[in-house]
Amino acid sequence: MKKFLFSIIIFLSISIDAFSQFDAQFTQYWGMMSYYNPAVAGNSKYLRVNAATKLQWVGKIKNAPNAFVVNADMPLKLFKRQHGIGVALFSEGLGLFNNVSVGLQYAYIFKLFDGTLSIGIQPGLFNQSFDGSKVEIPSEGESNESNDEAIPTTQVQGMAFDINMGVYYTSSTLYGGIGVMHLTEPSIRLVDRYGTFVARSYNLTLGYNIRFNESLFELQPSTFLKTTFQFFAWDVQAKLVYNKMFWGGLNWRMNESVSLFLGAKIKSIRAGYAYDLPTSTILKGSSGSHELFVSYELDLSIPKGSKNKHKSIRIL
């Protein structure tokens, strides 16, 4: 196992430049879509606060990936135009690497056909650190050395400017979007001799709502593709919703996992859980991945004809 982990560290750290980790993959991507596409910001009448965390490959794999995302967004009407604003924070542990990003989101929203189209941008900062003090190099074999000049021996970090962009369309029955993350492919200088860069990635999502006549059930199939054109991640999902309150479904991720997820909405709070079972050789060292999602929504719309008055402060 140490040799396996060591080979991963070498791959990520060797020479002066290295490709960064593929952006975190959430099974409940539909709940965290603004993480992948800033054009989603403000595309509803709600002030939304979303958070999700994922513990990946739980089991024997030391320093397995873990991720945490929180974002908030809301609609904004300015100069008789519809806009969306938001903020997003992402933190990820990947082996001895730790990635943190923060960004501000803006989206311009306008009506198109029977839905809305939005164009969004997210400028921000991306910080990456590497803890070289925890590097373990196997000592077996004559070819192995106790240290390697390509790997830092102390904790190092660097920061760079980053930009995400996207377009997103939604209507009463379907949604779809294209997002570009790390548009500028920021280079991060950890120290004088070591550095990485964050590869640009693209994502595509499509979803459709199938309503059954005289039924409280609704089927929501969707797909999510993420790529750097060197690596691909493709999800196909079927989600069944009952009475707009409870849901469950299955997800298939190409060459990686199958997943079961379920959740519920109670008043203004949504919460969901997903379990990913690996279908690759990772299954030999892991029992699977666990993901939690929670969201709070506050309705900002004022009903027509309302003067926003109350008879008593007790019912505010």
Per-residue pLDDT, 269: 97
Report d(CA 148, CA 152) in Å as an integer: 8
Per-residue pLDDT, 195: 79
Tokens representing residue 92 in the block: 């990820």
The number of residues making up the chain comes to: 316
* Closest alpha carbon to 230 in 3, 22, 18: 22
Per the CB < 8 A criterion, the answer to whether 64 and 58 are in contact is: yes
Report d(CA 292, CA 303) in Å as an integer: 34
Per-residue pLDDT, 304: 57
Per-residue pLDDT, 170: 95
Per-residue pLDDT, 24: 87
C-alpha torsion 162→181→183→227, nearest 10: 140
Per-residue pLDDT, 314: 42
Q: At which residue do the structure tokens 């830092």 appear? A: 152
What phi and psi, each to the nearest 5 degrees, are found at residue 223?
A: -145, 150
Say how many Å lie between the first and final Cα of the chain, rounded.
Answer: 59
Blockwise average pLDDT, block size 10, the chain, 316 residues: 45 37 85 95 94 93 90 93 96 90 97 95 94 72 56 83 97 95 91 82 96 92 94 95 96 96 96 96 91 95 56 41
Per the CB < 8 A criterion, the answer to whether 42 and 83 are in contact is: yes
